Amino acid sequence: MSAIRRALRWLPALALPLMAGCSTVVLSPPGDIAAQQGKLIVVATGLMLLVIVPVIAMTLLFAWRYRASNRKATYTPDWDHSTQLELVIWAIPLLIIIALGAITWISTHLLDPHRPLDRIAPGRPVPEGVEPLEVQVVALDWKWLFVYPEYGVASVNEMAAPVDRPIRFRLTSSSTMNAFYVPALAGMIYTMPAMETKLHAVMNEAGDYEGLSSHYSGEGFSHMRFRFHALPEEGFSQWIAATRAGGGALTRDEYLKLEVPSAREPARRYASVDSGLFDAVVNRCVDTDRLCMHQMMAYDAMGGLGLDAIDALARPRRGNLASGPFVSAGVCTVDRLPAPFPAAPQSVAGGLQAP
């Protein structure tokens, strides 16, 4: 027993070097939404430890007390039931599960990413007349694009926001599912091509924080990181002014070049952005030669465009998906089918060949 006690004394000293590289930003973040999520993690972990710690302690105690060499332990081979013990074993975990379920359910709805903020910090509601800062986020391969429609500027692998002002993120992806995550700001939120997700958050302390992709998305995933600058209102205004003064123009053609996969991209800024660029990314029609998704759905609802639309739909797309993989090589119509109807059309490179 004395050997075990001596080992336990040295355990903290052995664990500290292993924890030297750990960051506590997830459990003590400066952003209000992330802070509430961190508290939820602590509460949930504490409730689970109410069962885990006693079970581990009793396991060690019973193993020591009822070891074969302990002749003083009570030996009762015919004992098989105790109502009091059964009540303790089942009632305590049941109460913990009920409490954990209630807390998680309430917190999940209060911290819903789509839910606009009603406060910027504990006891500090959102001031009247303050509009959220809208930031449009596009997950590219393998870099992040941020568009500020209110100011008409954009940036790559760098974003800024004023302290204590709510932020409304609109997020999408260019080609594959990804996950936007700033640990100091809020929990992660997925981005998906041809879809838009939302996230509401606020930063309460000025500083320079790290953002990253938390979902594997290919070769350059590990370098898909960016800097998040939380600035005072005056500092944010200066950042916008510097972007307008020293950035280029993010046109649709420039976006199609930016969309091409690349890794380790340096931060850059754009002084102007083409109107409606984000909506065009969501609808998969930044290339003006392509039909937008909402237009396709509208035409489909009206009965479709018929065979005359095939050439436009089959035209190879510029940008990230310029090489395909879906290009129609031919169309098989009922009028062109011979009799009897063949079992299956022959497959050729790039599409289906009509018989």
Question: Contact at 8 Å (CB) between 273 and 253?
Answer: no
Mean pLDDT, residues 201-205 taken together: 95
The predicted pLDDT at position 61 comes to 92
* Residue range 5-41, pLDDT digits in tens: 555 455 555 544 554 455 678 888 999 999 999 999 9
Sheet with 158-162: list strands edge to edge: 158-162, 225-231, 207-213, 178-182, 186-191
> In 3D, which of 286, 291, 283, 289 has the Cα closest to residue 320?
286
* Residue range 281-315, pLDDT digits in tens: 999 999 888 888 888 888 777 776 666 655 555 55
Question: Contact at 8 Å (CB) between 269 and 246?
Answer: yes
341: pLDDT strictly greater than 70: no
Mean pLDDT, residues 105-126 taken together: 92
Residue with tokens 């913990």: 96
Average pLDDT of the chain, as a whole number: 83
Q: Which regions of 39-112 does DSSP assign to beta strands (E)?
A: none
Structural domains in the chain, CATH included, are 26-65+82-111 (1.10.287), 129-282 (2.60.40.420)
The predicted pLDDT at position 297 comes to 82
Question: Contact at 8 Å (CB) between 174 and 187?
Answer: no
Mean pLDDT, residues 58-77 taken together: 86
Q: What is the radius of gyration, based on Cα positions, of the chain?
A: 29
Question: Contact at 8 Å (CB) between 308 and 219?
Answer: no
Sheet with 248-250: list strands edge to edge: 197-201, 167-173, 133-140, 143-148, 153-156, 268-273, 248-250
CA of 184: how far to CAs of 21, 71, 212, in Å?
17, 57, 11
CA of 323: how far to CAs of 287, 291, 302, 315, 352, in Å?
14, 18, 31, 11, 18
Mean pLDDT, residues 57-83 taken together: 86
The predicted pLDDT at position 148 comes to 97
The predicted pLDDT at position 324 comes to 46
* Residue range 259-289, pLDDT digits in tens: 999 999 999 999 999 999 999 999 999 988 8
Helix (H, G, I), strand (E, B), or coil: what is residue 204? coil
* Residue range 210-245, pLDDT digits in tens: 999 999 988 889 999 999 999 999 999 999 999 999
The predicted pLDDT at position 120 comes to 93
Mean pLDDT, residues 188-195 taken together: 94
The span from the CA of 209 to the CA of 312, in Å, is: 45
